[in-house]
Amino acid sequence: MTRLACIDIGTVTARLAVADVEDGRVVRLAKHSEICNLGQDVDATGRLNEEAMARVIACVRGYVASAREAGATAACCTLTSAARDAENSSALVGQLTALGLEPLVIPGQVEGALTFLGVVRDFPGRTILVADNGGGSTELACGRVRDDGTLDLRFVRSIDVGCRRVTEKFLTPSGPDAPEALAAAHEFAAAAFGPAVREGALLSADAACAAPDAPATLVVTGGTVTTLVAVEKALVPYDPSQVHLATLSRETLERLEERLAALTVEERAALPGIQPKRAAVIVGGAVAVGELMRQTGFSELTVSESDLLFGLATVADAALRGTGSPVGWVPAMRPLR
């Protein structure tokens, strides 16, 4: 059994997974996350904010120390939407390298494939649509696991719709959000998701004009949906066992969006189940996920905690063992001394 550390730096959250992998399968994974808001102002300026980068470096420095203490033998590090968009992301990459990592800014296609790999193990034999709803983008991946255990991933696309991007474009930093602003945000998300849904034939299998291999289940990962479940269930403290594979109907999601949009950020932050730092972007996330459901015709989604970090741990193990990656991409690994 191999113990690995995987660090993923997103637009809103920086995360660490310490994973035990055996025979190419994750048998145990402990996750830690911290909201660092790397994507602060990136949509408007095209650059990473110096303070945001400093928050990420402080967080990741602690993650590296924690991984060593946990006995991880090697580590990999990926960066996603905010780093892809920013013209000065090389500055952050350089600082992360100085911590002993070999960070990679990964394309949206790879991000989507890794998330699909992490999610699909819970849905054997079923064609699913996986949506990784992040801060700056949403990755869509559709496919299934073949009988021989290999992936049949027929469509992957990264769409520039995420909770922070929607918030910074249309919503207020303090709340409440006006109906006109919410309508504009929904229109933006619909215009972005619609072409991908048509191109990938991603309509729900229950839709009248669905494709023969249409997805039967919509599975969504990311802080927006896990938070919405936690708010709906008033989870204090957060309990992953009550969130993983929980379902949210479109009606429930729309009700939560309306409820949260009517509150100030301070009022949202006081609700049971929400991290205070996520209060400013939760409505933008609800808009993105709700519009995806409308465009694909799904009346219900399933929430998964088995996200990109599970997929990343699997391919990291493949890289160390020199075997083929299930998604055709391998991370750069660095030993932890």
Sheet holding 128-133, edge to edge: 151-159, 138-145, 128-133, 217-221, 300-303, 247-249
In this structure, the answer to whether residues 69 and 137 fall within a common structural domain is: no
Residue 277 CA to residue 64 CA, distance in Å, equals 23
The CATH number given to whatever domain includes residue 230 is 3.30.420.150
In this structure, the answer to whether residues 80 and 12 fall within a common structural domain is: yes
Residue 22's pLDDT is 87
User: What percentage of the chain has pLDDT greater than the value 90?
Assistant: 88
Evaluate whether residue 114 is within a structural domain.
Answer: no
Average pLDDT of 146-152? Answer: 86
Evaluate whether residue 115 is within a structural domain.
Answer: no
In this structure, the answer to whether residues 157 and 8 fall within a common structural domain is: no
Check whether 159 has a pLDDT greater than 80.
yes
Q: What is the pLDDT of residues 169-223, one digit of tens each?
A: 999 989 999 999 999 999 999 999 999 999 999 999 998 888 889 999 999 999 9
**Helix/strand/coil for 37:** coil
Q: Any idea what the Cα angle at residue 36 is, between residues 29 and 140, rounded to 5°? A: 60
Count of structural domains, the chain:
2
Residue 93 CA to residue 71 CA, distance in Å, equals 25
Nearest Cα residue to 110 out of 302, 332, 279, 272? 332
Check whether 154 has a pLDDT greater than 80.
yes
Average pLDDT of 268-275? Answer: 97
Residue 223 phi, psi (nearest 5)? -65, -25
Evaluate whether residue 246 is within a structural domain.
Answer: yes
In this structure, the answer to whether residues 86 and 132 fall within a common structural domain is: no
Check whether 264 has a pLDDT greater than 90.
yes
Higher-confidence residue: 179 or 322? 179
Q: List beta partners, residue 74.
A: 4, 335
pLDDT-derived band at 334, boundaries 50, 70, 90 = very high
Evaluate whether residue 309 is within a structural domain.
Answer: no
Residue 100's pLDDT is 94
Average pLDDT, the chain: 95
Residue type, 134: G
In this structure, the answer to whether residues 7 and 129 fall within a common structural domain is: no
In this structure, the answer to whether residues 139 and 198 fall within a common structural domain is: yes
Evaluate whether residue 292 is within a structural domain.
Answer: yes
Determine how many CB atoms are found less than 10 A away from the CB of residue 212. 6
In this structure, the answer to whether residues 184 and 282 fall within a common structural domain is: yes
Check whether 150 has a pLDDT greater than 90.
no
Average pLDDT of 323-336? Answer: 91
Residue 250 lies in domain:
122-303
In this structure, the answer to whether residues 59 and 201 fall within a common structural domain is: no
Q: How many helices (H) and strands (E) does the chain have?
A: 13, 12
Residue 25's pLDDT is 84
pTM of the model: 0.95
